Amino acid sequence: MNSALLQPAPVASVAGRWDEFAGALRLRLSPAARVRREEPLAPRTTLRVGGTARVYAEPASEADLQAIARAAQAAGIEVFMLGRGSNLLVPDEGVEGVVVALTHEAWAEFSPRADARVWVGAGLRLKNLCGLAAKAGLAGLEFLEGIPGSVGGALRMNAGAMGGWMFDVVEEVRVMSLDGKVQVRPRSALHVDYRHCAELHQAIALGATLRTAALADTGAVKRRMDAYAHRRHESQPREPSAGCIFKNPPGDSAGRLIDTCGLKGERVGDAQVSPVHANFIVNLGAARAADVLALVRHIRAQVRARSGIELEPEVLLYGRNWKDVL
Ligand code: EPU
């Protein structure tokens, strides 16, 4: 018997497969695109925990993104979209797939039209969207002020704050399927719910046409944004976090339920239930994803024991299913 056949595959061959995939991408993408191996993701998330992406790519055009989607599909590799890195928990062991960030300026378009509609690219930060809208005298997007996300992430999650939801202002979304096909989907063809858009689980948002309210005076828009910013600063923590960690259960508030259990300030390692708002887990400096997961389990158990309510995580767990770790 050939003993070589019994040897486990050398680790290098696994790394080699990723090297090969990254190399093939570099050849297919435009010179303005970036492709990297083992890119640390913690600095690219608002919670600042987690490991590396086996492959990380910044496409510079729809054609680049199409090439990534098709190459990944052909190789059986999963694509993970990274927005602004909020609402996201990256496991300590990293992500087995290609993580794609729409950070190139080509994705940050803001094009107002004469009818108070505006086309926005998926990579545009909500903060910049609000600033540009205010400058252009467009009203109705102020509730997005202060959500630390991009347009693409806000579409994927139907982000919301201050009583407004992203899809309240969406007229149509331009999407790419995982095999690279591009389509424009009207709002009416999308299944949208609290922190959820079904179609964007299996497709990538490229941008959207937003409907703003009638042209308003710039001062009024700015004042409303300042009022929201003030309210947020008073009620939400400043330390790194992923935003609210659990969804609000129907008719109740996760923050109130966690607070009632006396969990504010509770810690696992450097992960802490924020003393400011109990539905935020903050990173005091050196938290690991494992600390955050342990704290999530602890909070759920306490809330379940006290109120019988099962809190569901709102943040996405990259590359893993929450049900496997809870
Ligand atoms: N509350 C407490 N203790 C706390 C936190 C809140 O008793 O530690 C009480 C508050 O007093 C209030 C109620 O819970 O009576 C609701 O709290 P809050 O107004 O802060 O709103 P929320 O439901 O906790 C939601 C969104 C936030 C969004 C805010 C502001 C969810 C899970 N959270 O928070 O969104 O910024 O409204 O509009 O839907 C996010 O999704 O990541 C997020 C931060």
- Which pLDDT score is estimated for 9? 55
Determine the average pLDDT of the residues in 282-303: 98
In the numeric block, the tokens 């696992």 are attached to 268
Per residue in 62-79, pLDDT (tens digit) is 999 999 999 999 999 999
Tell me the C-alpha to C-alpha distance, in Å, between residue 314 and each of 193, 198, 243, 317.
Answer: 13, 15, 9, 9
Ligand 1 mean position, distance from CA 24 (Å): 45
- Identify the bridge partners of residue 213 per DSSP, sorted by sequence position: 139
pLDDT score of 253 more than 60:
yes
How many CB atoms are closer than 10 A to CB 290? 16
Taking residues 86-98, report their average pLDDT.
97
4 pLDDT band, cuts 50/70/90, is very low
Residue 308's pLDDT is: 97
247 lines ligand 1 (CB under 6 A): yes
Q: How many Cβ atoms are within 10 Å of 43's Cβ, its own excluded? A: 9
Task: Report residue 246 CA to chain centroid gap.
Answer: 14
Does pLDDT of 129 surpass 80?
A: yes
The ligand 1 atom nearest the CA atom of 86: 42
Q: Is the CB of 278 under 6 A from ligand 1?
A: yes
At what angle are helices 126-135 and 218-235 packed, to 10 degrees?
150
Q: 13-30 pLDDT, tens per residue?
A: 889 999 999 999 999 999
Q: What pLDDT is stored for residue 13 in this prediction?
A: 86
- Decide if pLDDT at 11 tops 60: no
Ligand 1 atom with minimal separation from the 162 CA: 38
Residue 132 has pLDDT above 50, yes or no: yes
